[in-house]
Structure formats: C-alpha cells, structure tokens
C-alpha cells in the first residue's frame, strides 16, 4: 500500500492480474493512488451493501418465525422443519433455530457496518490506521451473510409446509374480503357485515349471505381472494 515509489514500475498491474486469476474476478490498479491511500470509501460502501443484505435477511427470518408461530396461539401459516428440541423446560417445544440464528447474524453485520463506518472516517490525510478493523469486520460480515443465506435457504425455505387449511380459515374471516362488495351493496352495508362477522367470528361469506340478497354462488365468485390481488 502506498504510492508505489519503491516498487517495480509494473508491480501494481502484474499483482492485480495475478490476483484476478486467483480470485476469479477482475482487479485493477487504482486510478489515483493518493485517493486510494487516504480514503476507504470502497470498503465503507461494501460494508453498507452487506448491511442492506442483513436487513433483508432479518426481515425474511422474522417473517418465517411469525408465519411458523403456533400451533395454538400463533399464526400457523406454515410449519418449518423441526431441527432440534428447543427447550430444556418445555417438553415438545421446537424453536425456529435457523431463522433465530440468522437474525443474530444480521444484527452482528449491522454492528460491523457501524464499526466500518466509524473506521472509514478516521483516516487522517493520507493514512488510515484503522484498516485492520475495517478488514476484520468486513470479512466477518461476508462470512456471516454467506452462511446465513445458505442456511436459511436450505433448512428453512426449501422444505417448509404451507398450512392451507389454517390459511383459508383465517382468510375467510378476514374483514378485508368485504372490500370487493362495496360496489355491490355500498360501503355502509359492507361495514355492517364486516363488523358482525368479526364479532361473531364467522366467515364473511356466511354473514354476507344472510344480510344481502346476493346468492352464495355469486358471493363465492365476488369474494374470491384472487380479486384482491
């Protein structure tokens, strides 16, 4: 690292060429050695992209955890594959261990990015003494992100089971279905149906059939969830 004043004239080009062969991606000498020496913006940007990936991973992992929650008081939309006993005090309990691990890894990546951000702005003139911590945290983030993507894809997303019966039952009671009836019976009547269905815990279509003159066959067609997509 430096201006290259003490290196052979073609050292940078030859080094980058060899590194490209070993890494399988292209490396080239910096256009401005003084800028590359004094600024670590490239590493800061890379760390920021890893943080963005971590945000997505945490969101996906949490969605899987919520959809898997249950079986009695949670959503129960899906069932993740049971990988290990999850509780030393509650027999039969199984935790979504991979999504939980991914959320922790994502949190670590976000923390690493904060470290890299601080380290990136700590360069003074043409020297940044925090290169070691930038490298350490960035390499750790890359490893965590890669392993998290692989684990989440292979052990959680590839083989979870969709609980169609539970989803259909919840959807049938969801007041959102009444929205498509606005043009048929008006907003006020639709609101009455939605409120009654919610209070009584009944499917929207059953209450709509009782409170309107629309036959159930036509209601099934109108209230088809596909009409809301």
Q: How confident is the model over 153-196, as pLDDT tens digits? A: 999 999 899 999 999 988 899 988 998 899 889 999 999 999 99
Reply yes or no on whether the pLDDT at 214 is more than 90. yes
Reply yes or no on whether the pLDDT at 71 is more than 90. no
Reply yes or no on whether the pLDDT at 1 is more than 60. no
> What pLDDT is attached to residue 194?
93
What's the pTM value of the predicted model, to 2 decimals? 0.82
Q: Quick one: average pLDDT of 192-215?
A: 93
d(CA 184, CA 213): 11
Tokens, residue 150:
């692989």
Domains in the chain and their CATH numbers?
1-38 (no CATH), 39-163 (1.20.200.10), 173-228 (1.10.40.30)
- Residue 218 CB coordination number (10 Å): 12
Q: How confident is the model at residue 228 (pLDDT cuts 50, 70, 90)?
A: confident
Say what percent of the chain tops pLDDT 70: 97
d(CA 159, CA 155): 7
d(CA 198, CA 175): 7
Give the residue, 94 or 187, on which the prediction is more confident: 187
Cβ proximity of 160 and 172 under 8 Å? no
> What pLDDT is attached to residue 37?
80
Tell me the pLDDT tens digit for each residue of 10-69.
999 999 999 999 999 999 998 888 888 888 999 999 999 999 999 999 999 999 999 998
Q: How confident is the model at residue 123 (pLDDT cuts 50, 70, 90)?
A: confident
> What pLDDT is attached to residue 202?
93
Report CA dihedral (87, 90, 95, 97) to the nearest 10 degrees: 0
CA atoms in the 13 A half-sphere facing the CB of 13: 3
Reply yes or no on whether the pLDDT at 140 is more than 90. yes
């Amino acid at each position: 690292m430096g201006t290259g004043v003490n290196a052979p004239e073609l050292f940078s080009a030859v080094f980058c060429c060899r590194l490209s062969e070993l890494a399988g991606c292209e490396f080239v000498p910096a256009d401005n050695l003084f800028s590359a020496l004094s600024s670590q913006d490239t590493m800061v940007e890379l760390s920021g992209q890893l943080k963005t990936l971590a945000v997505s991973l945490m969101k996906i992992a949490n969605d899987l955890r919520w959809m898997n929650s249950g079986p009695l008081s949670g959503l129960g939309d899906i069932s993740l594959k049971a990988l290990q006993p999850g509780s030393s005090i509650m027999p039969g309990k199984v935790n979504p261990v991979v999504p939980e691990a991914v959320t922790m890894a994502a949190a670590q990546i976000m923390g690493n990015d904060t470290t890299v951000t601080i380290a990136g702005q700590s360069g003074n003139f043409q020297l940044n003494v925090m290169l070691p911590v930038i490298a350490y945290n960035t390499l750790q983030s890359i490893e965590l992100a890669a392993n998290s993507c692989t684990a989440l894809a292979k052990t959680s997303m590839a083989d979870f089971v969709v609980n169609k019966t539970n989803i259909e039952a919840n959807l049938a009671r969801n007041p959102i279905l009444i929205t498509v009836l606005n043009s048929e019976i008006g907003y006020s009547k639709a609101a009455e149906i939605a409120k009654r269905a919610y209070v009584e815990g009944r499917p929207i279509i059953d209450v709509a059939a009782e409170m309107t003159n629309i036959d159930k066959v036509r209601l099934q067609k109108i209230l088809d969830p596909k009409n809301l997509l």
